[in-house]
A and B are shown apart, each in its own frame.
Chain A
Amino acid sequence: MALPLARSGRRDPLNPRKSTTLLIVMIVYALYTLIPLVWLLFSSTKTQAGLFSSFGLWFADDVAFIDNLVATFSYRDGIFLRWLGNTLLYVVVGAGGATLLATMAGYGLAKFRFPGRRAVFAIVLGAVAVPGTALAVPTFLLFSELGLTNTPWAVIIPSLISPFGLYLIWVFASESVPTELLEAARLDGAGELRTFFTVSIRLLAPGIVTVALFTVVATWNNYFLPLIMLSDPDWYPLTVGLNQWSAQAIGAGSQPIYNLVIMGSLLTIIPIVIAFLLLQRFWQSGLTAGSVKQ
């Protein structure tokens, strides 16, 4: 159905008119998101005492960036490195596995006709709507029955499921993998698995990267699930570990180490910022995939 385009809003899409209002909104938004980062950068150069006696968006008298860096990695026999390793493990196995499963399942649902497909569709859509936080406690009790709490599996297994990723690949595969191509491959005698791994997966690449980025960000930032599942700090990811450092400032016998919490936070966001910058063009193309019907 063709809707008439609004005449007054018609502009040359390649040379849009500059909007002052929009510019101001974007500048305010950029400041809003960047100021905490700038604060974090400046604060990472300060000692515990310097943090309390200096302005947040400038250096303190003592610059202790290297000291903080060394202390962060050496505090409590280098537990920070252990947490970093745990986070990497959860990301590689959890997010990697989630991406693989979402890709295969989404592709299968998009390209094969079988009974119950509609039911699966409804369940997946429903699952997208349920926040993971709401499922954390039931999941805990379930895992407790299985004797898996306080093990890395308790974090990895729930991370493997990404209904949103599955849905995205499903939509993406419907649009970008022509059924004719699959039929041609079948006629040439390729099995379904071979078709998937040699033909389809290449066409799905932008979608896969998008899902990977989503799941990597989600597992990297995962906080509530590991908080509930794990009681042994040796298995904590960075998020829960940093919170424990922060909580050291509370109550009798408190030992505030805000300088290490801040340095640790800075180190924690760097990899995710790099991943995002490198992969964001895929993210954009993946997000718009399927938005225009050709």
Chain B
Amino acid sequence: MKHLPPRARRRALAAFAAGAVAAITLAGCSAGDTAGGGAVGGDGSFDAVEAALEKGGEITYWSWTPSAEAQVAAFEKEYPNVTVNLVNAGTNNEEYTKLQNAIKAGSGAPDVVQIEYYAFPQFALTDAFVDLSQYGFADFEDDYTASTWNSVTDGDAVYGLPQDSGPMALFYNKAVFDAAGVAVPTTWDEYYEAAKAIHAANPNAYITNDTGDAGFATSMIWQAGGQPFQTDGTDVTIDLQDAGTKTWTENWNRLVSEGLVSPTSSWSDEWFRGLGDGSIATLVIGAWMPGNLMSGAPDGAGDWRVAPMPTYDGTPASAENGGGGQAVTTQSKNPALAAGFLWWLNNSEESISIFLESGGFPSTTAELSSEEFLSEAPEYFGGQKINEVLADAANNVVTGWSYLPYQVYANSIFGDTVGQAYQNRTDLNDGLTDWQDALVEYGNAQGFTVNK
């Protein structure tokens, strides 16, 4: 992938930044000038960050992660001159809307903000985040897995540091598989056969749930080798009918059209119920899932296990699903201090250990290969060393994926297009084509040049 110099690119995308607020929120309002302020004081080294941490000050941090409170407390203890105002400004989309509004208004954004990987390009390319390479953050590359580092950087620019990661694996309810007498699938063909067997054994049980989830679909396309979104400056190419995408739809169409997936929305109370009582037998989902199962589906304790994600041809392959990091906004009045907090948050052993305790799955290579981490054997998973499987998945993430520079919007209209195909059990390819048409139109209207 080629890259324009970040400066030129930002200017070209300025019009888009102004329009995005209207698109994400409900009302249409005219485009105005964007928040300026790419100029940030910094002498290009990590010394400036250390000096800022020593000097102290006050910063605001937006996050909805469960570990944030304990991390902020630990940070303030270690750096008593710094005050961090922790604000939960909403979970994912809600926070992005508020951030986008604050960027549009030119004030009100926090210093440090939590952003999921899929949303990084949208904010990074519109001048919302400070390029941390000026503080020497490029040196941290080796501390993180390749796929997460790739998600927070663009060429030489470093727009944040990764926190958690979500290499995909197959979470399955062993009790359901045993009852139906089915072996754990290693390929998607076996998965399809298992889906039929489980549903035949118990009409209330399904292999998994899926009502059309953009995050899941894009990750599945990722694993199948699809690269539907390519960005080069303001030129965007969208091809939701490439070979990889078609590999996935061929696999998933049969499950949807034959009614083998439960029509339950993820994260609903019904979903948690299904995970607890065995009516949803597997989840192909990010490695951050164990903690959610333990807290959200306590009835499933002892039944769940983890296996590698099924593959198409037997070669291990995974994809990132969810996960995110933190970034410093260009509205920050003390970016060096904000960068210091970000560095401590996602690079210090102390903070990462708090994060791990809260059930998070790390993006740092040191933790992913540590004996202590790999040997954990939670009782919920019948004493299985699940982190061995999950860490292995992190090494098998297919390379070459990128999200759209307006992926937040894209995901928000997924239900209107591909979701319809799910609901009517029609060809997912038709839904994806509709999605693509809508994305091309939107991208062109926002000042991109979009090719199909």
Contacts and interface: CB of A to CB of B under 8 A. Distances in A.
Interface in B73-112: 87-92, 94, 97-98, 101-102, 104-108
Nearest to A143: B105
B323 A252 contact: yes
Given A49-B299, A53-B299, A254-B292, A233 B88 contact: yes
Interface stretch (B20-28, B310-318, B372-380): B20-28
Contact of A244 (B21, B88, B101): B88
A232 B102 CA distance: 13
B108 A254 contact: no
Given A53-B277, A150-B108, A249-B267, A256 B27 contact: no
B76 to A, nearest CB: 17
A251 B324 CA distance: 11
Contacts of B88: 233, 244
B62 A231 contact: yes
Nearest to A141: B105
B277 A252 contact: no
B6 interface: no
B94 A247 contact: yes
Q: How large is the interface on A (under 10, 10 to 19, 20 to 34, 35 or more residues)?
A: 35 or more
B27 A249 contact: no
Contact of B358 (A150, A250, A253): A253
B325 interface: no
Interface in A202-238: 224, 227-228, 231-233
B437 to A, nearest CB: 26
A255 interface: yes
Interface stretch (B40-48, B184-192, B268-276, B382-390): B268-276
Given A149-B108, A253-B288, A253-B291, A136 B273 contact: no
A135 B92 contact: no
A51 interface: yes
Contact of B276 (A53, A141, A233): A53
Nearest to A140: B101
A224 B108 CA distance: 18
Interface residues of B, number: 51
Contact of A136 (B26, B67, B272, B288): B26
A49 B298 CA distance: 7
Interface in B312-337: 322-323
B87 A52 contact: no
Interface SS of chain A: helix, strand, loop or mixed?
A: helix
A135 B27 contact: yes
Given A138-B27, A251-B322, A231 B87 contact: yes
Nearest to B97: A228
Contacts of B105: 140-141, 144-145, 149
B276 A52 contact: yes
B296 interface: yes
Contacts, number: 122
B127 interface: no
A150 B85 CA distance: 14
Contact of B91 (A138, A227, A250): A250
Nearest to B274: A52
Contacts of B97: 228
Contact of A231 (B27, B89, B164): B89
Given A53-B277, A135-B27, A136-B25, A231 B358 contact: no
Interface in B289-313: 289, 291-292, 295-299
Interface in A235-283: 244, 247-256, 258
Most buried by B among A48, A145, A227, A250: A250
Interface string B100-131: 01101111100000000000000000000000
A133 interface: yes
A5 interface: no
A258 B87 CA distance: 22
A253 B66 contact: yes
B445 interface: no
A251 B92 contact: yes
Contacts of A232: 87, 89
A248 B91 contact: yes
Contacts of A184: none
A232 B108 CA distance: 11
Contacts of A48: 298
B29 interface: yes
The 3 tightest CB contacts between A and B, nearest first, are A144-B105, A252-B288, A52-B273
7 contacts: A49-B276, A52-B277, A134-B27, A145-B105, A247-B64, A249-B269, A253-B359
Interface of A: 48-49, 51-53, 133-138, 140-141, 144-145, 147, 149-150, 224, 227-228, 231-233, 244, 247-256, 258
Given A247-B64, A250-B91, A253-B66, 15 more contacts: A52-B297, A135-B27, A144-B107, A149-B105, A228-B97, A231-B62, A231-B87, A250-B267, A251-B91, A251-B92, A252-B164, A252-B166, A253-B358, A254-B296, A258-B269
